[in-house]
Chain A
Amino acid sequence: MAIKKFMFVNRKAPYGTVYALESLEVVLIGAAFEQDVSLAFVGDGVYQICKGQSTDGIGMKNFSPTYKALGDYEVTKLYVEKESLEARGLTLDDLMPLVWEDEDDDYAEKPSIRLVSSEELATVFDEQDVVLSF
């Protein structure tokens, strides 16, 4: 089967609606199909990969640890829109340190998060074959 470039665009906060959780389920299936998968986090979507999430008291599962497993599924390109972070008073330090192991470089841990401007993100979008937005 052909390999296409799939981009999953995460636009919503992790809790309050089910979009983020169900998006992550699609991402994992996309990776299982051995497609070239990228993720983008824009708008409130940047909250999905914030550190220190706790769902105590809201009755929803804290699924944020799943993002740490993405590297093992060879999902290594997580684009975070700089403007969205800044607008929410966040910096890279507020995000989970998501990494992947590079087989070709003695399994060195490399960061998966790529901080990009909206203009740079537009270029990344342009290169995709399939864009699914959540």
Chain B
Amino acid sequence: MKYSIMVNEGPYTHQASDTALAFCKAALEAEHEIFRVFFYHDGVNNGTRYTVPPQDDRNIQKEWSKLAEAHDIDMVICIAAAQRRGIMDADEAKRQGLDGDNIAPGFRISGLGQLIEGGIIADCQLVFGD
């Protein structure tokens, strides 16, 4: 089965991102395909590499980045939601005249069309949120 995933909540505040991550791992283990993970609302906060949780806690951002790298998963952060919340890649930071970017490895910034496309292409779209 080809899945498309939507993550609508940020890390730590809410369980949604952990659950989405666990789902993706389980789906991949069962030899399903993750077509795309789309981060929206506060979900975009999963994609900043400046995430530094205490050492005895999980690093959710790194877990996503590792998963993307290991399985070549397309992980997209919504540009409109990202701009509101200060998540930038190098191009966008330059365009906005900002002094740096913070996007984590494995994530890319793109538009909402990527979410709709995910829904069209995947057999099943799952939303993880509040």
Chain A residue with Cβ nearest B112: A29
> Do A130 and B119 touch across chains, with their CB atoms under 8 A apart?
yes
Q: Which of B80, B119, B127 makes the CB contact (< 8 A) with A25?
A: B80
**Cα A102 to Cα B127 with chains together (Å):** 33
CB pair A18–B41 under 8 Å, yes or no, is: yes
Contact between B116 and A33, CB atoms less than 8 A apart: yes
A4 CB → nearest B CB, Å: 6
Closest to A33 in B: B116
Cross-chain contact A132 with B119 (CB below 8 angstroms): yes
Main secondary structure, interface of A, reads: mixed
Q: How far is the CA of A33 from the CA of B117 in the complex (A)?
A: 8
CB A7 to nearest CB in B, in angstroms, measures 10
Query: Is A26 in the interface zone, CB < 8 Å from B?
Result: yes
A35→B116 contact, CB < 8 A: yes
A59 to chain B minimum Cβ distance, whole angstroms, is 14
Q: Is B97 an interface residue (CB 8 A)?
A: no
A33 to B118 CA separation, bound complex (whole angstroms): 12
Contact check, B112 vs A26: say whether CB atoms are below 8 A apart: yes
CB pair B120–A132 under 8 Å, yes or no, is: no
The bracket for how many chain B residues form the interface is 10 to 19
B107 in the interface (beta carbon within 8 A):
no
Judge whether B119 and A22 touch: CB under 8 Å.
Answer: no
Judged by a CB distance under 8 angstroms, whether A79 is at the interface is no
Bound-state Cα–Cα, A130 to B120, Å: 8
Query: With the chains together, A131 CA to B127 CA distance in Å?
Result: 8
Which residue of B is nearest A3, CB measured?
B120
Q: Are A133 and B120 in touch, CB under 8 angstroms?
A: no
The answer to the question of B105 belonging to the interface, with a C-beta cut-off of 8 Å to chain A, is no
Which of chain A's residues 6-44 have a Cβ closer than 8 Å to chain B?
6, 18-19, 22, 25-26, 29-30, 32-33, 35
Query: Residue B54 at the A interface, CB < 8 A?
Result: no
B-to-A contact residues, CB < 8 Å? 6, 8, 40-41, 80-81, 84, 111-113, 115-117, 119-120, 125, 127, 129-130
Q: Apart from A6-B119, A35-B116, what 4 extra A-B contacts exist at CB < 8 Å?
A: A22-B40, A33-B120, A130-B119, A133-B127
Which A residues lie at the B interface, using CB under 8 A?
Answer: 1-2, 4, 6, 18-19, 22, 25-26, 29-30, 32-33, 35, 129-134
